[in-house]
Structure formats: structure tokens, C-alpha cells
Structure 1
Amino acid sequence: MAKAPHILEKDTGCPEPSTRQPHVAAHWGFYGYDAKQDVLRPAEIDPDPALFGSELLSDRLAPCRILKPAVRKSFLENGPGTATSRRGSDPFVEVSWKEALDLVANEIRLVRDKFGNEAIFSGSYGWSSAGRFHHAQSQLKRFFNTIGGSFRSVQTYSYAAGEVILPHVIGSTEGMISGHTPWSQIVGHSELIVMFGGTPLRNAQVNAGGVSRHETRSGLLACRKAGARFVNITPVRDDAASELDAEWLGLRPGTDTAALLALAHTLVVEELYDRTFIERYTIGFERYRDYLFGRKDGIVKDAAWAWEITGLAADAIVALAREMAAKRTLIMMSWSLQRADHGEQPYWATVVLSALLGTIGLPGGGFGFGYASVAGIGQPKPAVKWPSLPQGRNAIAGVIPVARIADMLLSPGGAYDYNGKTFHYPEIKLVYWAGGNPFHHHQDLNRLVEAWQRPDTIVVHEHWWNAHAKHADIVLPAATYLERDDIVASGRDSFIGYSSGVFPPPAGVRTDHEILREISRRFGAELAFTEGLTEAEWLRRLYDETRANALKSGIEIPDFGHFREVGLVEIEGREPDVPFMSEFRADPLAHPLKTPSGLIEIASGPIESFGYDDCPGHPAWVPPAEWLGAERAAQFPLHLLSCQPHDKLHSQWDHAIPSRRTKKGGRQPVRIHPHDASLRGIAEGDVVKLASLRGECLGIATITDAVLPGVVQMATGAWFDPSDPAEAGSLELNGNPNVLTLDRGTSRLSQGPSPNSCLVEIVRFTAPLPVSRAYAPPEFVADPRPVTTTAKELPCHPV
């Protein structure tokens, strides 16, 4: 057997297991719950915990908590498809669980029988729970797969463009999602670390599936202590920790590809590139070289050319290229850079630049996407396969790219290109959403509001009366991670934990599983959905499956009873600490990449054959629709970057103390350079209005030279709060930047989201300040139906 795992006690000072504090796990870490003081404290093993996770308890039962099932008044009165333009402004009627579940089951049955399962969209984004069982997306898909399936989405908002382009170039998404060069192969090996998009530690507070130890900061600092020099190429200086002493090269947003092309041009023209590596491990170099030299378009992609586009001085680009060639260099690129128009290009160009340097597969060299984009990047893979709730088989094959939800609803039957094929959007009659908030994730929220009026029925599971709930027809109150037990584990970490519900769900609130179990019973599918197991029995089954898998690898972990008692178990066995792509480098014939050539595709024949004008067959500079060099910048002269928040995960718990503390004057801060503020007569703390072609929102000015002139930065996550929900495009009051962002696919290749290509203008807001109702529940009214009306007597679905 392998060495016994660490058993990480929750309270080492307690002699008896019965007195140990329970662990609570979330995407942002592990916490011990002290029932006597009613507080959460970060796990002692965590060297850099996410402190906002300790302050959420007091807002668990805030006034915006959903405590009873509720139905939109117009829907309840007149049935599906009624007054859909009033979603977001209609009052609600609270109903019993029985009526709500009967109504949901009836709606699903009507749509399924009349239009087929492909008219049902099971939307979810899965981030409501770090648990392996109470994973809302898995629960929802499992339910629908027992009754004939549903239309669904693929990709993620985090790295959709990367998910598509990297398999064409290197054969997989390794090096972006997982499989990165670990810190042990970076510290003391990298002489130069070049960070495109920085390594913002606010993002590294969270991780899908949770995190036992936040180690990104310590990994970066260990590199610095070992002598690595950092270069931070980004419009935002403090996207890198000050302790790294990074040189800041501030470039215009969305122009990273031009900088990468110029660096590559310098390496080639000065013959600093690794010819042997290019010849043995890549294909397509000659076509790329011709592009760099302008042999077709007449434009040489040299440092002087890039200076005009990026704002980076030509001599700085040339000097950096020479230094990268002279030193063992690791290129880090954030996930955020591919969330922009033509976001495939900087990722492709990064791989090619690394290939030219010839350090791919070596300690301290190569490239990696996402260091600090979430926690756990840079940790070796665990040696044990963690459990997951089986979803079953979906009988409906149709999917859309995740960021094309509004397009789908607005253009039923419309054609779109995706990764070399042409598809058609379905006509969706019913949307069922659990575990995510599309009014946070999606772009151009005013357009999404319009799209949200198209389906006949929208059903959601929610904790809070946010915009997601207020724009639904049927709202089912769901338990939070504090109110249910679960098993937590991450594919980027070596722990498995038992997360205890430290409170019972409020009266009238159920878990996602309970809700879907009850609906499945109404279809005669309860046994298929539950397999006859309770929630507690499912947890035991999932853990026992993991234990059996561990034993096959020679690793013994505690039995379920002991695991539940100690709460957190760390597996010492991990995959080998080796650089990313080291096997390929050692022998490309024995370990070919899963590309058509088996090699790194500097130029791609398949992509070239697709004929996409917005994604040619090699890395290229394609000007974004919105950037500081666009004609539109004359009207909207500031480039908005909408980053992840530091005070929460996405929009979760935006109503709670940590998030409220950062909202100056109750609204989201927007960072602006002193020069830009002065031009507009804006002072620190002023209420300002941000405007784009798509909408307007309020914010509070924070003046700082940490952003480049011409650049403003506003974190996402503020709950969408239009001043008049009944008026299309009304002023958003809470500071949600996604009323401003562009809802446009990155390209026809990947159709990813492109929020970071967004031009805005900012002015002082001098009108009387409207009152925000972002955290207030909607209006509730009495049931308008005659006393004898039941759910089954509601009008049928319109044709």
C-alpha cells in the first residue's frame, strides 16, 4: 500500500471526536464552524485563506432569501407564455410546494408531449455548490435524462475560446484546465516569467470543487525568492502582487496578440529561435514566418508595427524578446485574455512563441494558461479519481456554445458556425435553470432580458431574490451549501472532504435533489433518478467508489464513518511532478499530440479549411470590434475591463457583508486613471454613469494610476438592478458591467464570450440618485385565481 494519507483534524485540541467542529466547504475553501460563537474560521492548514468566506453566516436569512415557492402572477392567472415582457417586474404569488411541483411537472410534460424534449433547455452553471453530489448541473441533467433528455450547452464562460483552439494546436486543453507545469518544476528553474494578463490573486481564492490550501501566492513568491524575474504585460499594474517586483509593461487591452507576433518576429529575424525544436516538434512554421514578414499582406509584424497597436515601445518589445531567448522563460497567460473578440489568437500565439523559444517540456520553460485564474493551478494531479454524480445518457444530441444562450432564444431556427460545422438553434419553449445566475455570467444583459421573454415557461432554483429569480415564472427555494451535507474534492487538489450542513434548511426550503426527486416521482421516474438511495446513502456510495478506486492504485483511505468524523483527508499520492508536455518532448513519436500531425500546429489545416475570416489558419492580428484603436473609440473613448470580484465568487452572496463593504455608497466601484478622471471633472467617490452602445449603469469612481490612461476596470458580480424593470434598457443602478459588455462570439470557431472587448464613456451622475432594489424581494400579492382553480386547470401551452 502507498503511504497512509494525512488525516487533517478539524480541531486538534479536542480529545473526543464527538466534540470536533464540523467542516464547511465551499469553492473558496474549508472552514471550521464554531457553534458556540456561531462563526466560521478558515482551516488551520490553509496558508492564505479567502477571508470573505468567514463572514457569510449573518446574511444566510437576509430579507432577499427565498423561503417559499412562488409563481409570477400573470403566469399563474393565464398560463405559460403570458405577459412574458413583465418578467422582472411582475409581482409573485407564494404557493404550496405541492402546487409548485405539480405546476412544474405539468409544464415539462406539456412541452415534452407537444414539442419534444429538444424544446426544453436545461440551463445550469454548476457553481452553486462545491460538492460532488449537490452539484446542481449534474442533478438537473440527471433528472432530465431520466425523462427523455433536454437541450443543453457546452463549454464554460471562463475559457470557452481556449477549449476549442487548444485541441487544434496541441491536441488537448491540458495546460489550461489542468496538467500545468507544477510549481516544483518552476521554482528555481524559471529565470524569467512573463505574465500576459498578470496573476491576480483575487481569482486564486476560488476553485471548482473547493480548495484545501491556497498556495498560488506562495508559489509565485518562491519563484521570486529563487531569483526569477517577472514581467507583467497587462493594462492593470496590480494584476501582479507587489512582492513580485514585476516590471510593468502596460499595453492597450485586447492587443496582446500583436505584442506576441512582434516578439516572435524579433526571434525569427534575429535568428534567436530554436530551429531544432521547430523542425522536430512543430508543423506550419513557414506559413507563419511568411505572415510575420508580411509576404502576403505587405505588413511586417515587427516591433514598430506592434508599438502603434499596443502602445508598448518598440525597443521594449525587442529587448524582451532577446531576454526571453537568453533565459529559461515561462510564459503565463490568464484566462481573461481569451474572453475577448478573437480570443483564440493570443492563446495560439503564446504556444507558437513558446515553441520558438524551444523550452516546451523543460523545467521552468514553456507556457501555461490560468496560473492564478483559479486556485490549484500548478498542483500535480491527484492520484485518485474523485467521485461524481452520474448524469446518465441524454437522448437529445443538440447543444449550443454556452455563451450563445441569447442568440438561441432570439433566433430559433437560425444558423450558426461552430468549430467547422454549421448548426441551427432550436425553438426553446421551457427553460429550467438551477445552480447559476445567467444575469451575472452573460453579456449585454439588456439583450438577455429581451431573449428571456421568448420562452413560454422559465423555472429556476434559487437561494435569493436576485434578477435570476425575479425574471422567472416559477421559483423554487433551494438550500445553500451551509444547509446540506456533501463530499467535496477538486481535480486540482489532493484532498477529499466532508462538508457538513451546520444549519437545517429554513422551513419551506429544499435541496436541489429533493426538488428534482419530487418532480421525477410525478413522471414515474423517481427510482431511476434516485436509484432507491437517500441523500446520505448517495454520499456513502460516492465515497466508497472513491475508496475502491484508491485501493486499485495502492492507496488506502479511511472508511466512510471515519472520513465523516475527521472531515478532511489529504491523499499523499499524486501524479509525477513533471513539466507540461515533457513526454512529448522526450519522444514525439512515442507520445504524439492528438493533433492531425501529432505535432504542435503552428498553422492548422483544419482551421484553414473552415474558411473563417475571423479565425485564419495561423495566429494573426484581427482587430477587435471594440478596442482603443477602433473608430467607435471616438464616441466611447475608454476601454472597460470587467474582472472577477475579490469579495465573492461570481455573484454569489453579493448581498452579504464582504460584498457590501466594498461597495462605496452602496454601488460597485469603477477604477479610472487620474488623467481620465480630471478630463471629466470626476473626483474620488463621485457617483458616475458608465455608458456603451448597449446600456448604462451607475458606479462609484475610484481614482488610481494602477490602470492605464484610457482604461477603466469594474468587477463583475453586482446583482442586476434596472431602475425600471418594465422599461427596456433602463439605467442599471447596482454597477453590473454586463449591461455594457458585448454579446458576440469570439469567432465562428469557438463562439466564446467576449466581454473584455468593450468601449464605454463615463460621466459624473448629477441627477437625484435612484434607490436600488437589488437586494429587496419582489412584490407579493394574493392569489388572483378563483378559489376552485388548480394547477391542472391552468391554460395549456400556446402553439
Structure 2
Amino acid sequence: MAEDRARNSKSGEKTLIRDISFCGVPENGSNASMVDVKDGKIIRIRPMHYDWKYDPEKDMNPWKFDVRGSTFEPSMKTLIPPYSIAYKKRVYSPARVRFPMKRVDFDPGGAPGSTGPGGRNTQNRGKSKYVRISWDEALDIISKEMNRLKETYGPTCLLYQCDQHGENKVVQACHGAGRKLLPLWGGYTLQIRQPDSWEGWWWGSKHFWGCEPVGQGKQSNLLLDVAENCELLLFWGCDQETTPWGWQGQLPSRLSYWYSELGIKQIYVCPDLNYAAAVHADRWIPVLPNTDAALYLAITYVWFKDGTYDKDYLKTHAVGVETYEAYVMGEEDGVAKTPEWAATRCGVSARVIKALAREWASKRTSVVIGNGGPGIRGPYATEPARLQNICLAMQGLGKPGVNQVKMIEWGLFDFPDQYAQPKPLRVPNLRKAYTGGHPSDKNDPSLPKTLVPKAILEGSCDWWGCESETAPREDQFIHRFYPAEGASKIHAVWTDSPSWITCWNGGNDYVRAMQHPDIEFMWAQHPWLENDALLADIILPVNTKLEEDDIAADIFSGQYNLLYPENKCVEPLGESFSDYEIVCMLADKLGLLEEYTGSKSIPELIKYGWETSRCADLISWEELKDKGYFVVPTADGWEKEPRGFQKFYEDPKNNPLTTPTGLLEFESTGLKEHFPDDKERPPVPKWIPSGITHQETLETERGKKYTLLVISNHPRWSVHSQHEDITWLREIPTCKIKGPDGYQYHPVWLHPSTAAERGIADGDVVSIYNDRGTVLAAAYVTERIMPGVIYIDHGAKWDPIVPGEIDRGGAINTIVPRNVTSKNAVGHAVSGFLAEIEKTDLDELKRKYPDAFNRPFNPTAGPGLDAVMAGGEE
């Protein structure tokens, strides 16, 4: 940040401020950190102090909650999570890609589909070792392959995978630096990222209450609203002691403790007694994974029966209530959705359902959803999403204390509602300087991420909607096809976001798709040798953000908005470059460098970030560099801004929602018009145990063979697929468990009764399996999980024994459902599915797959360079 600053001791130690945000929307950051560097190496990462260069009262106008005789205010330092503090381990990981690499049995001169010496050997992706090559050779291979493929098939044969989560970078990009290059080259096919944390809201709730772009409830000023007005908080599948770490740090944890001090009751509804529930819950109500729809229906049954809902509100704020009531009370199908009916499906007793319904109706209640998580990312997730909305609506959505609360990411103010706040609150926005792709960007042709394996393996597919991650509700009624008219099938893949296998649906299908002979060439650029990168023909080394200059904005921490330039802390490891620099080198090979860069240097682009940040009138470039950061003062009168759905609650006619009627739609107008006969996402939300897309409940035939329901949460000790190689974290038993072979296995939680029925003891290596494959893990036997349920975090590092069949690393996404949310909603479904578990015979596996067990492995970091280099690391 600015110049090397802070202390310069006799030992040569220097301190730099950096942004260590690892996930979220690429052009936004969270939780700025301080990085101590000594003799060219990172020695420590620690919180940054807001008052280092600024006087809080004079310069920052601190916000404060004074509620019920108690005060809550921001800390004077950033609340960074544990893996930010430990991130130097990630920088110096043995899995860092330090030089360009080529798959040893890939010959770019080989004919498409060729095998053996001189062939492309696509069938060996994920199995082959690598050799070191020079940058010139790597770029020559890539540029020649690109031009050959374009000449043979046309440019749309190249699928560009540039989404997913990554380090927070702006000018140096984190993903998508090629989005500007490829149109100059002639075109491409864009992989569209689904709204992965919001699937049920995006495909369901937008048809109930609008709330573009992602369908989650309006958030402005809700943290204060909760403090002032709530009597009960229902944390539904929410763990604010874990999930916010990657986005917002520890502010939600502080808030939860404070809410308890205020006397606000907290009930957690989730299959597992998660970390937040363990310390904050007044009561834990365990519910079977992906059965929440049945529970919501039974709650509304009680309200209809008892008359304990806001009838007058629904008359003026909602449509379709009578149709919904007919379904709930059994008039439509002859089955009343009673607590007794729900109990057999969701695992919550009828007595508890009735008690929950009556307590909810008797108190000013908000539902806390975190962000989305497993409760909204399963088969038919549109139904529990809409049904949760209906529950809130029936109690007067938008009245003080009645809202849907995220409690992570955007803190005090909604996004983008916060843009409307009066001066001087000015949220820094660095999008114009960002050199990567953005979720709202569009390209024709495109392919939804969830359908990539199907498109390649089957050769064609079709879907509705999904023009972009931020597409409006109406886009869901547009029919699209692969291959698009006039476009080629996919024959090459370029990825700078290689986390498909471990974060998306049907990971084993993706492996098989990348091994398909149609995919003649695949290359990856990434800082680490992990996951999809192990399938690539060419791998290019990328810097971490601590090895490059950039500019950053911290707007997710929920404390203060920051803008700051970033200085390189240490020299790049090996021969690595930033994503942007790599695309510049490729553009040069293609003769497009000048057109690609617009003749702007990286320092010029960084300054351009300040110029277009919306803060240039508040601080000069020279002062920003001198001070090193800018704290945007809190606006006067911020507490008077509308809260959640308040304006709609007070005057629905003049503050309509973005639904077709402008009202809450218990029966969706759009779905009724376009998909009136859809049994999997009907106009009125329902309980859907199975259908043509999924058979993932215990009520199905598959439920007799695979008798356990799997919940797959956001990981506590990493963010999606990142941080798996931070060795300090791997010493924590709930992060990794050492097996008898010395390998550190990903833990899977199971109840003592579930374990006893299968002869499994704590610490045993087990196999989690279904008809889609097998994943090894280590048993963590605990009463913090329901009987009949197993819990394993998603995002573990892929370490295949047999690529596409058996994984040793705990990558549960390899066996999640391959199909999308439902027939006409192409979101992913990655939790609440069927599997079975048994103790693993490691000796038998070693005999059957000796190569997989005899290869070198780093027990604290998974596969490293030494495991994949032919003849060892050079």
C-alpha cells in the first residue's frame, strides 16, 4: 500500500497493508490486513487498524447502535478470519505452480482423438504427470492451438471458464482477464456461472417477491432493525460463525453475542449443531436435509387453522393466497399438510412443529439465512425458498422486526441500495478498472455452468434462462440451446477458475467430460496445482495477490468502507505472473496486445481505479498514496434509511415489488403463464419428494439403497476450494483427521447411532458412495448431527484414486446430483442428497490401486509438485 511504510526496524522488517479477501464478487474486497515482510519473506499477517492514519471522530463519523440500553459499534481494526492470518502458508504452499508445465503424454501435433505416443491422450487427463517447459513454448502451444481450432471449427469452439471464487484482485484480475481478448480474437463460448449461493432464491423467490438481481430479501439497515424490533431470530440453515469468514470476517459473530445480550431469542433450524448454533442457540431444532419445504408447509397449516396470521396485510400486499391455502389445507390434493404429515418427512416431531409455529406467530420474528448455503442449494430448492418467503409474508413482511436477514457481506447497508445513501457515504466501486469478467457481462453463445458435462458428453442440450448471473426474472422464460445456431460444439477449454470438480454439480461427470476426445485442448492458469488444473494439458503459474501491485476496496466488512492502493509485498514465486499479465503475453503472441491493453500500463490502470472509484472527489491520488488508505465517513442520518421491505409494507401501491403484479405472489403469475404444468417448479410452491430430475429423498426407491441424507456446508477452515493447504489449520481435528496411512482425510460427521449401525468408530477411514462414485473421508462421530444424516464440507482438494470414480481428498461434489435444480431451473443441486457410508478397507484399496497409494504425497497439503512431475520436481 502506497510506499513501504510503518516501521522499518534495524532488522530490516517492513510493514505493508494488503487486502486479503479470498472470495466474493471479484471487484469488491473485505477485511483489509497488514502484512509484515522481513528479508523478502512474509512473516506475519494481522488486522489493519482504521485509526492508523485517521481520527475516528473527526474523519470517520463512526456509526453506533444505541438500543435497549446497550451499545454496539465497529471495532477500530478489521476482523480478519483465521485463514487470512495464516495465508502466508498459502503463498508458500508446496502445491504452488512455479513454472509452466505440460502434460507428459500430450502432443499438440497429435490428431484429435489420438492416443499413444505422439497422441493427445485426452483419456489420461487427471492421471498423467507433467514436465517443465518454458514460457515461450507454453505460449506458442496455446496460441497455435487457438488459431488451429478457430480455423477448423470457428472461435466458438473455445469454452472460456472464468467464473467462481478467487483472490480479490482488480487491475491484475482474478478471473476473466481473457474476456476482453477473446472478442478481439474472433469470439468464444462463455461458461455462465449460476448464482451458486442463491439458487433457490434466484430460480424461486424472484417469482414470489422479485428482489432483483438474486432474489434474496431487501437488506438495507436490517441489522439495526433486528436490534430495535426483533423478539425472535430463526437462523435457518445458517452458520454465521463460519460462512462470513470468507466475506465479512467476524462481525456477524459479534452481532450474535450482542443480540443475545439484548434478549433476542435465537433458534437454529438445521441438520447439524453448527458452530454458531453451538454457542448462540437458545434452541436447536434438527431437520433432515432438504426437507424444509415440508416444515414450512406445516407451519403455515397451523397458522391457517388457528387464524394466527396477518389477514389484512395479505389482502393488500399479496395475490394467490386462496390457491396456496387450498393446497396446504388439502383441498387441492386431499392431503392436509399437517404437522403430523410433515413430521414423517422432515424428522421434526409434530409437537415441536406446532410449538415453533405458535412461537413464530406470537413474536416479531425475522429469518436469518446467512447467504444461502445447503438449505437453498439442493434438489428443488425453489420450493423451500418460496415457502420461507410465504411464512414471512403471512406475518406481515416488512413490518418492524419481520424481514429476511442475511447478516453477512453487506453489513449495515444493502447493496446496491447503499449507493443511494446521502453524502459523504460513498461506496468505492472499482468495476471500471477491473480487467476480468463480471457476473452481469453477457456473451453469445454461452453455456450454463451446470450443463457443461452434459453438453460435452451428450453433444447437445437445452435450457431456459441463465443469460448471466444477474439476469432478470423474465430471462428465465427464454429458451436456449447448445450448440447455438451457427456456433460450434466445444473442442477446447481455457480455465482461470479451476474449481469445477470441487464446487459444482456432478464433479465426476466433469472429469469424464474433460477426458472426452472432443476436448482436443485444455489449458489452465492458477497459483496452485489443485482440482481442475490436474486435468489440463498446459498449466501456467499465477501470482498470489501478495506478489503484485493493485488497488482494492473493502466494502463487505460491515464496519467501514475503504479504498486503498496495494503494493507488492514479496517477489513473485518462481516464474509466475498475474492473470492479466499472462493474457497480455498471450495477446502479444496473437498480435493483439495494443488493442487489448489500450496502451495503458498497469500503474496507469491502478490510478484509473482511483479515478473511477466514486471517491476521487473525496481524496486526491497523492494523499491516497501517502496515507495508504481512505476511510469513507459514515453518512449522517443513515439510521433513518428504509429497512428491508419497510416501504412496501407501509405503501405497496407506491412501492411495488418487481413481480408482474407488484405484490407478493403466493401463486406466481410468470410461472403460471410460462410453465403452468411444471410439476417440479409449480406456480404454487409445494413439497416435491421426487420427479423426473431427482430421486433424492428417503421416500424414493433409491432411498432404500442409499439410506443416508448428505448435508454439504460451506467449510469452516477454508473458503470453497481455497486454503486446503494451510498446514496450521490442518492440525485442527474438525479440519483434517490423520488416517492409519498417515494421510490427512477430510472429516465426515455422523451420529453415534449411525456409526454403530455400520461398525464405524471415530477416526475410521470411510467410504461415502452412491451410484455417482465414491469419496473417502474420516469419521467424526458426534451428537452434533442428526441420526440418519452425514455432514461433510464441500470444497476439499480433489485427490483422485480413479479420476471420475474414486476420490481420496474428500471432494464430496464429485458425487452430488448431476442434474440441475429442476427441469426448467438450471441451478446446481449440491446438498440434501442420498448416499451410503461404510468403513473402508485401505489394504484392499492399496492392492487394487497401488499407483495411487504409492505416489508421493504431502500429508499436510495434498498433491504437490513432487507428486505430479515426471521424474520429480525440476
Report the TM-score, using the length of structure 1 for normalisation: 0.89
Q: Which residue of 2 aligns with 1:322?
A: 358
Q: Which residue of 1 aligns with 2:730?
A: 660
Q: Which residue of 1 aligns with 2:430?
A: 387
Q: Which residue of 2 aligns with 1:40?
A: 45
1:372-451 residue pairs with structure 2 within 5 A?
372=408, 375-377=409-411, 379-381=413-415, 382=418, 383-388=426-431, 389=434, 396-418=443-465, 419-426=476-483, 427-451=489-513
Aligned partners of 2:242 and 2:275 also within 8 Å: no
* SS in structure 1 at match of 2:180: helix
- CA gap of 1:668–1:703, structure 2 versus 1, over 3 A, is same
2:227 maps to 1:191: no
Cα distance in 2 between the residues matched to 1:597 and 1:286: 16
In the TM superposition, what whole-angstrom CA distance separates every residue of 1:346-379 from its partner, at most 9, and x where no partner exists?
Answer: 1111111111101x223321223x435xx44554
1:240-251 residue pairs with structure 2 within 5 A?
240-251=276-287
2:621 maps to 1:560: yes
Cα distance in 2 between the residues matched to 1:395 and 1:190: 41
Cα distance in 2 between the residues matched to 1:326 and 1:430: 58
Q: Which residue of 2 aligns with 1:170?
A: 209
- CA gap of 1:63–1:333, structure 2 versus 1, over 3 A, is closer
Cα distance in 1 between the residues matched to 2:528 and 2:615: 39
- CA gap of 1:385–1:765, structure 2 versus 1, over 3 A, is same
Q: Which residue of 2 aligns with 1:790?
A: none
Cα distance in 2 between the residues matched to 1:286 and 1:395: 40
Cα distance in 2 between the residues matched to 1:506 and 1:701: 37
Cα distance in 2 between the residues matched to 1:71 and 1:155: 31
Aligned partners of 2:175 and 2:579 also within 8 Å: no
- CA gap of 1:634–1:564, structure 2 versus 1, over 3 A, is farther
Cα distance in 2 between the residues matched to 1:317 and 1:722: 43
Cα distance in 2 between the residues matched to 1:573 and 1:146: 43
1:197-346 residue pairs with structure 2 within 5 A?
197-207=237-247, 211=248, 214-334=250-370, 335-336=372-373, 337-346=375-384
Cα distance in 2 between the residues matched to 1:567 and 1:244: 38
Which deviates more from structure 2 when the two are superposed, residues 496-505 or residues 535-544? 496-505
1:468 CA displacement: 1.7
* SS in structure 2 at match of 1:751: strand
In the TM superposition, what whole-angstrom CA distance separates every residue of 1:480-505 from its partner, at most 9, and x where no partner exists?
Answer: 11211222225545222333321111
- CA gap of 1:683–1:88, structure 2 versus 1, over 3 A, is same
- CA gap of 1:603–1:146, structure 2 versus 1, over 3 A, is same
Q: Which residue of 1 aligns with 2:168?
A: 130
Aligned partners of 2:104 and 2:128 also within 8 Å: yes
- CA gap of 1:781–1:707, structure 2 versus 1, over 3 A, is closer
2:399 to 355, 362, 382: 362
Letter in 2 for 1:677: A
1:431 CA displacement: 1.0
Aligned partners of 1:440 and 1:720 also within 8 Å: yes
1:471 CA displacement: 0.3
- CA gap of 1:47–1:647, structure 2 versus 1, over 3 A, is same
Q: Which residue of 1 aligns with 2:771?
A: 693
Q: Which residue of 1 aligns with 2:141?
A: 103
Letter in 1 for 2:864: A
* SS in structure 2 at match of 1:347: helix
1:634 to 691, 696, 704: 704
1:30 CA displacement: 2.5
Q: Which residue of 2 aligns with 1:614?
A: 680
1:282 CA displacement: 1.1
Aligned partners of 1:338 and 1:344 also within 8 Å: yes
Letter in 2 for 1:615: R
Cα distance in 2 between the residues matched to 1:696 and 1:290: 43
Q: Which residue of 1 aligns with 2:390?
A: 352
1:408 CA displacement: 2.2
In the TM superposition, what whole-angstrom CA distance separates every residue of 1:567-606 from its partner, at most 9, and x where no partner exists?
Answer: 3322124666431122222322222111111111111122
Aligned partners of 1:56 and 1:657 also within 8 Å: no
Give the superposed CA RMSD: 2.8
1:183 CA displacement: 0.9
Q: Which residue of 1 aligns with 2:759?
A: 681
Cα distance in 2 between the residues matched to 1:466 and 1:76: 22
Which deviates more from structure 2 when the two are superposed, residues 111-120 or residues 260-269? 111-120
Which deviates more from structure 2 when the two are superposed, residues 300-309 or residues 88-97? 88-97
2:668 to 591, 596, 604: 604
Letter in 1 for 2:689: P
Aligned partners of 2:290 and 2:832 also within 8 Å: yes
* SS in structure 2 at match of 1:236: coil
* SS in structure 2 at match of 1:232: strand
Letter in 2 for 1:171: G
2:222 maps to 1:182: yes
Cα distance in 2 between the residues matched to 1:714 and 1:189: 36
Q: Which residue of 2 aligns with 1:155?
A: 194
1:62 CA displacement: 3.4
Letter in 2 for 1:622: I
Aligned partners of 2:463 and 2:826 also within 8 Å: no
Aligned partners of 1:252 and 1:628 also within 8 Å: no
Which deviates more from structure 2 when the two are superposed, residues 169-178 or residues 116-125? 169-178
Aligned partners of 1:10 and 1:32 also within 8 Å: no
1:512 CA displacement: 0.6
Cα distance in 2 between the residues matched to 1:50 and 1:104: 38
Q: Which residue of 2 aligns with 1:55?
A: 86
* SS in structure 1 at match of 2:107: helix
- CA gap of 1:599–1:469, structure 2 versus 1, over 3 A, is same
Cα distance in 2 between the residues matched to 1:155 and 1:490: 24
Which deviates more from structure 2 when the two are superposed, residues 54-63 or residues 312-321? 54-63
Aligned partners of 1:52 and 1:658 also within 8 Å: no
Q: Which residue of 1 aligns with 2:837?
A: 762
Q: Which residue of 2 aligns with 1:794?
A: none
Report the TM-score, using the length of structure 2 for normalisation: 0.82
Which deviates more from structure 2 when the two are superposed, residues 501-510 or residues 237-246? 237-246
2:783 to 705, 712, 724: 705
Letter in 1 for 2:536: A
Q: Which residue of 1 aligns with 2:813?
A: 738
Identical aligned residues as a percent: 23
* SS in structure 2 at match of 1:701: strand
Letter in 1 for 2:527: H
* SS in structure 1 at match of 2:229: coil
Show structure 2 runs of 5+ residues with no match: 23-30, 50-75, 114-119, 419-425, 466-475, 484-488, 739-743, 847-852
Which deviates more from structure 2 when the two are superposed, residues 771-780 or residues 221-230? 771-780
In the TM superposition, what whole-angstrom CA distance separates every residue of 1:78-114 from its partner, at most 9, and x where no partner exists?
Answer: 4455211111112323221112112212222222333
1:541 CA displacement: 0.3
Show structure 1 runs of 5+ residues with no match: 1-6, 783-799
Aligned partners of 2:220 and 2:642 also within 8 Å: no
1:702 CA displacement: 1.0
Cα distance in 1 between the residues matched to 2:3 and 2:101: 42
* SS in structure 1 at match of 2:754: helix
Which deviates more from structure 2 when the two are superposed, residues 444-453 or residues 701-710? 444-453
Aligned partners of 1:626 and 1:757 also within 8 Å: yes
In the TM superposition, what whole-angstrom CA distance separates every residue of 1:28-57 from its partner, at most 9, and x where no partner exists?
Answer: 533211223721123344464312222232
Q: Which residue of 2 aligns with 1:513?
A: 580
Letter in 2 for 1:579: R
Letter in 2 for 1:750: A
Cα distance in 1 between the residues matched to 2:317 and 2:448: 32
- CA gap of 1:695–1:659, structure 2 versus 1, over 3 A, is farther
- CA gap of 1:164–1:487, structure 2 versus 1, over 3 A, is farther
Letter in 2 for 1:288: Y
Letter in 2 for 1:571: V
